Structure 1
Amino acid sequence: MTRFTRRTTLKVAGASLAAATLPATAAAEEEESTWTVAESPIDSTVHDVIHTATNAHAVASGGLVIERTDAGWEVVLQGGPTGNGNDLYGVDTTDDGGRLWIVGASGAIGEYDVTTGNLVDRSAPNDFTANFNDVAVTGPAGDADVYVADDSGSIHYSFENGEEGTWDYEVPGSGSGFNAVEFYDDRAGHVIDTNGKVFATDDGTTWNPIGIEDAGVTFYGLDSDAADDVVVSGGNASVFEYDGSRWVPESLGDADLLDVEIEDGDGYAVGGGGVIFEQTDGEWSQVQTPTGENLKAVATGETDIAVGAGAEVLEK
């Protein structure tokens, strides 16, 4: 089944969750850039981006949502779910791409219909008003399972489309904040925290640690394609790939890598100073970029898109 998540995912059953770390280093030679700067209609940091059933959408500080149209990028939502202008940090869509779920500061959660423009405010579940850093959604529009990661170490979830009174939460680790959450199947996925831990679930409620031992860096980006196909990016240009039994680290340079999207050996890691590393057939190389701004997120599709600080939007 095709999902309109940050990349097209394969919903595959997983294998073993035992973890071990082996050393590895990648030589990432710089290649000529094929990325161009798109004109942005805003002047605030763009934190996340995704392809939907209509067009690509991105979320930004100040509660802004922008859409890539035939005429260029346009603002389609101001003020966020509550109208208070809370910064928006994370975004995901339903399996059919019809609903855009957005999360952000002070408990902001919204369900946005990309076809009609209708917005439903789902903010502050059970009166939680922590900063919500990321969101993962599975299922169809109007009948989705929703998972929200916060900066206080909790995963909030609703199996009834985020309706009031249907939210619960778990604290998988020690209370360290979660930077990213991603699901590859209905109730199976991963989260990463700021204390060097990765957690896995196959029922949406029970979380088990699967590493990463002695990583020595902060984790920022997560790509979850299966129980035995996980990629994490972090500080010092580190990338960790998991095959179901061990974590294999690679060092690509020295920039913080804030997001990673990989499928079948192809994809990107993006981060500080406008850095973009491209993976082709499993091999990493650095590409030149027309920006020095920190890149926060990347989405692959018919047009690959990277977004970041300074309202930066890059396209390929």
Structure 2
Amino acid sequence: MTRLTRRSTLKVAGASLAAATVPATAAAAESDDGWTVVETPVDSTLHDVAYTATNPHAVAGGGLVIERTATGWEVVLQGGPTGNGNDLYGVDTTDDGERLWIVGSSGAIGEYDVTTGNLVDRSAPNDYTANFNDVSVTGPAGEADVYVADDSGSIHYSFDNGKEGTWNYEVPGSGSGLNAIECYADGAGHVIDTNGKVFATDDGVTWNPIGIEDAGVTYYGLDSDAEDDVYVSGGNASVFDYTGSRWIPESLGDAALFDIETEAGTGYTVGSGGAVFELEDGEWVQNTTPVGENLRAVATGDVDIVVGSSGSLLER
């Protein structure tokens, strides 16, 4: 299946062709819906995955970054930004796909140039060393606005490419952990916390609550494509669709859904026990998968990729 999301189209112009020429590696099993298990060089949890200007990259425990190459998935970074092996939880790319921003435990932040292999350590902004759960960046390589969400309820942001002395922070809610953040344009995006709140910004600094009332589940995944086009996934296989004026809830079963990615009525949400649900013409349909591991993140492109626990990786 070939599908380019907004993020793939805007940030990875030209990269999808390169990705399409990369063969799947060491297929161990394939489901009826076309998901294939692919061998990876890690056995720790793969927490996030993203397309870049070169190839897809994924991040894992122990500070590992792996890349999908012509010969399979390979480790391209070890130890994380600081070299201390901090677990890596979140990734995002600049609009041109040339920089992969990575974040993780103990204040780890790194800016990785996928075209040269150079890594710049941006860790511990203002000496802050909380666990950073997710990152969102807008703008081109070297000139990015950077937003980092932590497990203490703070959003750390820099409008000068994460340079030292340019970081500030905001606490949009009550101090509950922030699981995911995404900006769909410069200064505009959304963040979710573990206390049932979604916040929106249109200036990159002020975050206002927009729901979700009485949801009763923990939020894990976020897809922010516009002010009136937002999806949130969470516990009890819950999916919430924001239209700009109201949230539309839907329950897909009993799995925890850790990530969600949509575009123009298509996409995926993935979660515990090997759960993958596909959005087709506005309807969610469960896919069969050949794994039972918890699936943590999904990236869509010429090859759709899902990553999860124990180094598990699926391609379609």
Is TM more than 0.5 here?
yes
Aligned-partner residue type, residue 235 of structure 2: G
Q: How many residues align?
A: 294
CA RMSD of aligned residues (A): 1.4
Q: TM-score under structure 2 normalisation? A: 0.91
In 2, the alpha carbon distance for the partners of 1:242 and 1:9 equals 22
Aligned-partner residue type, residue 124 of structure 1: A
**What residue ranges of structure 2 are gaps of 5+ in the alignment?**
12-30
Q: TM-score under structure 1 normalisation? A: 0.91
- The equivalent of 2:302 in structure 1 is 302
- The equivalent of 2:51 in structure 1 is 51
- The equivalent of 1:13 in structure 2 is none
In 2, the alpha carbon distance for the partners of 1:182 and 1:294 equals 22
**2:258–2:271 CA contact under 8 A, matched in 1:** yes
Secondary structure of residue in 1 paired with 2:97? coil
**What residue ranges of structure 1 are gaps of 5+ in the alignment?**
11-30
**1:6–1:49 CA contact under 8 A, matched in 2:** no
Q: Where do residues 26-41 of structure 1 align in structure 2 (5 Å cutoff)?
A: 32-41=32-41
Quickly say closer, same or farther: Cα 1:48–1:37, change in 2 above 3 A: same
Secondary structure of residue in 2 paired with 1:168? strand
In 2, the alpha carbon distance for the partners of 1:196 and 1:68 equals 35
Secondary structure of residue in 1 paired with 2:54? coil
- The equivalent of 1:282 in structure 2 is 282
- The equivalent of 1:213 in structure 2 is 213
Aligned-partner residue type, residue 118 of structure 1: N
**1:103–1:132 CA contact under 8 A, matched in 2:** yes
Percent identity over paired residues: 78
Q: Deviations over 1:37-65 (max 9, x none)?
A: 11101111000000000000000000000
- The equivalent of 2:94 in structure 1 is 94
Q: Where do residues 54-203 of structure 1 align in structure 2 (5 Å cutoff)?
A: 54-203=54-203
Secondary structure of residue in 2 paired with 1:268? strand
Higher relative contact order (CA 8 A, sep 6+): 1
**1:6–1:92 CA contact under 8 A, matched in 2:** no
In 2, the alpha carbon distance for the partners of 1:287 and 1:37 equals 14
Secondary structure of residue in 2 paired with 1:273? helix
Secondary structure of residue in 2 paired with 1:200? strand
Quickly say closer, same or farther: Cα 1:99–1:80, change in 2 above 3 A: same
- The equivalent of 1:245 in structure 2 is 245
4+ runs deviating over 6 angstroms: none
Q: Deviations over 1:223-270 (max 9, x none)?
A: 000000000000000000000000000000100000000111100000
Q: Deviations over 1:149-204 (max 9, x none)?
A: 00000000000000000000000000000000000001100000000000000000
